[in-house]
Amino acid sequence: MSSYEQLRQGLSAPICLTWEVTYACNLACVHCLSSSGRRAPDELTTAEARSLIDEWAAMQVFYINVGGGEPLTRPDFFQLMEYAIERRVGVKFSTNGTLLDRAAARWVASTDYVDVQVSLDGVSAKVNDPIRGRGSFQRAWRAMELLAAEGVPFKVNHVVTRHSLADLDRLYERVTGMGGQLRVTRLRPSGRGRLVWAALRLTQAQNRELYHWLRAHPDVLTGDSFFHLSALGTPLDGLNLCGAGRIVCCVDPRGDVYACPFVLAPEFRAGNVREQSFASIWSRSPLFLRLRRTEVGGSCSGCEAYGRCHGGCMAVKHFTGAPLDGPDPECVFAPDGRPGPEQLPISPRPIRPVFVR
- Cβ-Cβ contacts under 8 Å for 325 (sequence gap 6 or more): 294, 295, 296, 297, 298, 300, 311
Q: For another protein, which stretch binds (CB under 8 A), given 3-11, 25-33, 101-109, 336-344?
A: 3-11
Q: Note whether 289 binds another protein by CB under 8 A.
A: no
Q: How far is the CB of 13 from another protein (least distance, A)?
A: 7
Q: Note whether 223 binds another protein by CB under 8 A.
A: no
Q: How far is the CB of 328 from another protein (least distance, A)?
A: 24
Alpha-carbon gap, residue 197 to 171, rounded angstroms: 22
Q: How far is the CB of 82 from another protein (least distance, A)?
A: 16
Alpha-carbon gap, residue 152 to 13, rounded angstroms: 29
Strands 256-258 and 250-251: antiparallel
Q: Note whether 1 binds another protein by CB under 8 A.
A: yes
- Do residues 279 and 55 lie in contact, with contact meaning Cβ atoms separated by under 8 Å? yes
Q: How far is the CB of 293 from another protein (least distance, A)?
A: 15
- Do residues 151 and 126 lie in contact, with contact meaning Cβ atoms separated by under 8 Å? no
- Do residues 96 and 136 lie in contact, with contact meaning Cβ atoms separated by under 8 Å? yes
Q: How far is the CB of 60 from another protein (least distance, A)?
A: 4
Question: Which lies closer to another protein via its Cβ, residue 3 or residue 234?
Answer: 3
Q: Note whether 15 binds another protein by CB under 8 A.
A: yes
Residue 16, phi then psi, degrees to nearest 5: -150, 165
Counting every residue written for the chain, the total comes to 357
Q: For another protein, which stretch binds (CB under 8 A), given 7-15, 129-137, 196-204, 265-273?
A: 7-15
- Do residues 85 and 79 lie in contact, with contact meaning Cβ atoms separated by under 8 Å? no
Question: Which lies closer to another protein via its Cβ, residue 9 or residue 79?
Answer: 9
* Residue 211 one-letter amino acid: Y
Residues 98-117 that bind another protein (CB under 8 A): 112-113, 115
Number of residues that bind another protein (CB under 8 A): 16
Residues 57-76 that bind another protein (CB under 8 A): 60, 62-63
Q: Note whether 90 binds another protein by CB under 8 A.
A: yes
Q: How far is the CB of 3 from another protein (least distance, A)?
A: 6
Q: Note whether 12 binds another protein by CB under 8 A.
A: yes
Alpha-carbon gap, residue 6 to 66, rounded angstroms: 26
Question: Which lies closer to another protein via its Cβ, residue 85 or residue 99?
Answer: 85
- Do residues 300 and 281 lie in contact, with contact meaning Cβ atoms separated by under 8 Å? no
Question: Which lies closer to another protein via its Cβ, residue 115 or residue 129?
Answer: 115
Q: Note whether 88 binds another protein by CB under 8 A.
A: yes
* Residue 48 one-letter amino acid: E
Question: Which lies closer to another protein via its Cβ, residue 61 or residue 331?
Answer: 61
Q: How far is the CB of 65 from another protein (least distance, A)?
A: 12
Q: Note whether 13 binds another protein by CB under 8 A.
A: yes
Q: Which helix (H) or strand (E) holds 153?
A: none
Packing angle between helix 102-110 and helix 136-149, nearest 10 degrees?
Answer: 40
Q: How far is the CB of 121 from another protein (least distance, A)?
A: 24
Question: Which lies closer to another protein via its Cβ, residue 60 or residue 347?
Answer: 60
Of the candidates 221, 229, 187, the residue with the CA atom closest to the CA atom of residue 339: 187
Alpha-carbon gap, residue 110 to 246, rounded angstroms: 33
- Cβ-Cβ contacts under 8 Å for 89 (sequence gap 6 or more): 53, 56, 57, 61, 62, 63, 64
Q: How far is the CB of 90 from another protein (least distance, A)?
A: 6
Q: Which residues of this protein are in contact with another protein, per CB under 8 A? A: 1, 3, 6, 9, 11-13, 15, 60, 62-63, 88, 90, 112-113, 115
